[in-house]
Chain A
Amino acid sequence: MLAGGLSIALVLLLAPSALAGSIIPESGGSPAANHISNLYTITLYIAIVIFIGVEGTIVYCLYRFRARRGREAKQIHGNTRLEIGWTLGAAAIVVALATITFLDLHSIRDPSNSGPGGLDLSNGVQYETTGALKPPDGRALTIQVNGAQFYWRYTYLGVSSNADGLGDPYTYYQMVVPTNTTVVLKVVSQDVVHEWWVPQLGGKVQAVPGYVSETWFKIAKPGNYKGQCSFLCGRGHARMIAEVTAVSPQKYTSWLAQLQSNLTAADINDENCRKELAQGNGPQSVEFTKDC
């Protein structure tokens, strides 16, 4: 046990980053995830010292004080100074942990401004400043994450002029975001409780029906970041997966425009199909002229 603890400590000292996903949490996608990982790692060092201290002492006692010929147990009932000492020691560790949590809290919880090279949010492009969570300059891309049995739907808020957000473009399963841009997620649910979690981008938030949970990320590197629903939501829970794809702001803008026009075209097409269906004498007699 002692040797195990020591070797873990040694490995940690040598290569902390290589251990994401086995000894420390995943990170690397977004500042929040990185800060959580740091906070965790500091705690882990303290934990290893306590672990080796306690378990080592137990093992030492079992060996050193085992019953054998001539061994008399010492009849003591306690040691007030020692007991006060370890109480204060435990309290001191707790205070230290609370302190480092508060020191890191701001950078984990509160969004920072978009970096240089991010999506230009200045001239009337889509962004929302409502909600509690926003960066200091108030400019962030806002995406609504809607959990449902058993899929995620992302609505890119503020694109259309509709106040209800119904005209905004949306995607399923895969979210596309621009790099170096602060993205605030408004996580909601339309049925049961779900939980949004993409480990490399940060912590999780529950999607509770009737509530809006908020979280944020800012991705520096283009790439795919995988996650999945982490709160039991029914039989399909394990397959409620998610993916966030980060691309350059230019690619993002053109992709969003394409998505928007695709959706509009599909809506118009759909509407025509419905009209045709309504004018016909029943489903059997309808001859679809369009791509219905």
Chain B
Amino acid sequence: MATAVLRPAPQIVAHRVDPAPRGLMSWLTTTDHKRIGILYLVTSFVFFILGGTEALLIRLQLGEANNTLVTPEVYNQLFTMHGTTMVFLFIVPVLAGFGNYFVPLMIGARDMAFPRLNALSYWLFLAGGLVLYGSIFWSPPEAGWISTVPLATSTYLPSGGVDAWIYLVHLTGIASLLGAINFYVTIVNMRAPGMSWSRLPLFIWSIMAYSLLLIIAIPVIAGAVTMLLLDRHFGTHFFDTAEGGSALLWQNLFWFFGHPEVYILILPSFGIFSEVLPVFARKPIFGYKAIAASTMMIAFLGLLVWVHHMFTTPTPLVVIIFAMISSFLISVPTGIKIFNWVGTLWEGAIEFKTPLMFAVGGIALFTIGGISGVFLAMFPVDWQLSDTYFVVAHIHFVLVGGSVFGIVAGVYYWYPKISGRMMSETLGKWSFWLMFWGTLITFMIQHSLGLDGMPRRVYEYPDVGHLQLYNQISTVGSWILGLGVLLTVINVWRSLSHGTIAGPDPWKANTLEWFTPSPPPVNNFDEIPRVRSLEPMKDIRREVERQSKEGAGARPQVPGEVKVTA
């Protein structure tokens, strides 16, 4: 066994490497995309824990028929905070966190295009979260995460909870908008030499779609909540049908944002699946172009389908039919993605590491959500299923199975890069199995609850039929899921000090972030490698191998600290 340690290029070409600044002030004033990424990741995980706790309380209340654990008021506040937190304060920003950390690294850039704007995005996001959670000391919002009018107007909810929600949407919205513009500019302008669009990693494609959708959707919701604010406090009547406004206008505006938002939440997780699968199947991604194209196709079609959230409203039939057809069309590119992922596993040599398990488990769970989505797209069927627990089940298979499993796969996959240490595989696998079965048990039975006539957002239900049994199954599942999440949180914490040293490229991965040391230096790359394929690290490893075979002692041409065991 011969080990050739190649001298890292930074020591040769760097003129001046600043030591990373330390201390609290350095974090408060940082404009380094990696530190901002870490701030995003840590903050959004704190909100994830809060939103998860709210979910567990919801499930506790529903664990028994006619339960009185919480009052109707508190119950409505709980599900409003849960939905708002998970969408605006966990999934969107955690993806921004991964994007911040890895977009520059994966495209071979030294930072984002606008580093200070990037810092502003983070602090606005944090401000939005603090405004929303500040309201729990007075009166939290209780009109649901969709804040439908007229319930959300001052006539029916005069207290400040809805206002806190409005400011949350504004603050996190500006944060996302600025972040999206930043990602877009960075990806378009700052790619490494040789990284053409056909060599762009699929995670970067997904961040591109995420950014474009945010740029299109955020202004609409910003306008809508501004109108709501004016209606609430300044005497306008945008949403008051009796005064010439329209209560349906809110639903149209909200869902014009709300549906693309679902793709904003899920496409980057799909990007993570597309990065993780080829690495652990030790095989190139199957159908790269089809996956990239389907990402953009889903983003485009996602802008046309919002009316499928409004099938039960008095909307003209022709509009409803259009929404059904466009929703059906989305299932084609979505199906293409799933087939390509399966194609990537096919004939591979699959290594059962935790990131792979979360990615494959996520795809398996998301498939259930994708299929139940087809039922909901058929509007006559949706007339039965809409606003019931069937929809709750659907959205959780999509967002837990798709988004959250992708995010956790990303955590296990990239943690070594961010921290320089490996996470525990044992804890990781325990966490996976608990989360996988927890998700299945919690949400599978909720389809039946919906079919059995249980609407969503009810704080109690009568003890008839199987309602209580089904709800109890779901509640037990939620605690299994919660335990699984907890193990990953413990794993993240513990591995900071206990994890084995990772080295630059512990997975033998394909993309450029693995070219840098772990954690990467402030400037990421002293010398940016030329990209010659979709899998630059594979090329670099091959080159190193070739050179080390050619002659021991010959100094390799390849920069970076690359260790090869032959």
Q: Interface SS of chain A: helix, strand, loop or mixed?
A: mixed
Which residues of B (437-466) have their CB < 8 Å from a CB of A? 448, 451-453, 455-461, 465-466
Given contacts A36-B381, A94-B328, A109-B380, contact A65 B451 (CB under 8 A): no
Please, how many angstroms separate the alpha-carbon atoms of A149 and B311 in the complex?
Answer: 23
- Number of cross-chain contacts by CB at 8 Å: 256
- B456 — which chain A residues lie within 8 A by C-beta? 230, 232
**CB of B476 within 8 A of chain A?**
no
> In the complex, how many angstroms separate the beta carbon of A255 from the nearest chain B beta carbon?
27
> In the complex, how many angstroms separate the beta carbon of B184 from the nearest chain A beta carbon?
28
Please, how many angstroms separate the alpha-carbon atoms of A90 and B348 in the complex?
Answer: 25
Proximity string of chain A (83-100) to chain B, C-beta cutoff 8 Å, 1 when within and 0 when not? 100110011001001100
Interface segment among A39-47, A122-130, A273-281: the answer is: A39-47
Whether B381 lies near A43 (C-beta < 8 A) is yes
Query: Which of the residues A58, A86, A195, A233 comes within 8 Å of B336, measured between beta carbons?
Result: A86
Interface segment among B47-55, B90-98, B212-220, B337-345: the answer is: B337-345
Which residues of A (26-43) have their CB < 8 Å from a CB of B? 26, 33, 35-37, 39-40, 43
Whether A209 lies near B241 (C-beta < 8 A) is yes
Whether A21 lies near B453 (C-beta < 8 A) is yes
> In the complex, how many angstroms separate the beta carbon of B390 from the nearest chain A beta carbon?
9
Cβ-closest chain A residue relative to B76: A235
Proximity string of chain A (54-82) to chain B, C-beta cutoff 8 Å, 1 when within and 0 when not? 11011001100111100111111111001
> In the complex, how many angstroms separate the beta carbon of B244 from the nearest chain A beta carbon?
10
Per the CB 8 Å criterion, the residue count for chain A at the interface is 85
- A210 — which chain B residues lie within 8 A by C-beta? 241-242, 246-247
Proximity string of chain B (385-419) to chain A, C-beta cutoff 8 Å, 1 when within and 0 when not? 11110000000000000000000000000000000
> In the complex, how many angstroms separate the beta carbon of B215 from the nearest chain A beta carbon?
28
Please, how many angstroms separate the alpha-carbon atoms of A47 and B271 in the complex?
Answer: 25
Query: Which of the residues A97, A108, A206, A230 comes within 8 Å of B455, measured between beta carbons?
Result: A230
- B352 — which chain A residues lie within 8 A by C-beta? 66-67
Given A83-B336, A97-B374, list of 13 further CB < 8 A pairs?
A22-B466, A25-B451, A40-B375, A58-B342, A62-B360, A78-B287, A98-B325, A199-B384, A204-B312, A227-B453, A228-B455, A231-B387, A238-B461
Binding site for B on A (CB under 8 A): 1, 20-26, 33, 35-37, 39-40, 43-44, 47, 50-51, 54-55, 57-58, 61-62, 65-68, 71-79, 82-83, 86-87, 90-91, 94, 97-98, 101, 104-105, 108-109, 149, 191-193, 195, 197, 199, 202-206, 208-214, 226-239
Q: List 23 A-B contacts (CB under 8 A).
A: A21-B466, A25-B381, A26-B452, A36-B383, A47-B374, A58-B360, A58-B364, A65-B281, A66-B352, A67-B282, A74-B347, A78-B288, A79-B286, A82-B343, A192-B150, A197-B387, A202-B384, A209-B242, A210-B241, A230-B386, A232-B76, A232-B457, A233-B151
Those 8 A-B pairs whose CB atoms lie nearest each other, nearest first: A203-B383, A210-B241, A238-B458, A230-B455, A74-B347, A61-B345, A73-B283, A90-B335
